[in-house]
C-alpha cells in the first residue's frame, strides 16, 4: 500500500503482509477528510467499471 501527501510531496509505502496491516490502513483512512475520501472512492469505482466493460 502506498500513501502520498500531495501537499508536502511525500509518499510512504508498506507491505500488506505486515502484521496488523489492516489495522494500520484503518487508522490511516480514519484520518482522511470524508469528502475527499468519497470523491476518490467514486473515481476508483468509475474507473473499475470502465475496465470491466
Higher pLDDT: 52 or 2? It is 2
Q: Which three cell numbers stand for residue 35?
A: 469528502
pTM of the model: 0.55
- Domain edges within the chain: 2-52
- The secondary structure of residue 10, as a DSSP letter, is E
CA separation for the pair 13, 3 (Å, rounded): 6
Q: Each residue of 8-24: pLDDT tens digit?
A: 999 988 887 888 888 88
Q: Which residues contact 5 (CB under 8 A, 6 or more apart)?
A: 11
Q: State the number of CA atoms in the 13 A half-sphere of 9 facing the CB.
A: 0
What would the grid cell of residue 1 be? 500500500
Amino acid at each position: 500500500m502506498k500513501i502520498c501527501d500531495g501537499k508536502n510531496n511525500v509518499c510512504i509505502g508498506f507491505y500488506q503482509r505486515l502484521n496488523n496491516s489492516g489495522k494500520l490502513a484503518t487508522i490511516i483512512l480514519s484520518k482522511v477528510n470524508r469528502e475527499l475520501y468519497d470523491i476518490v472512492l467514486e473515481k476508483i469505482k468509475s474507473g473499475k467499471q470502465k475496465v470491466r466493460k
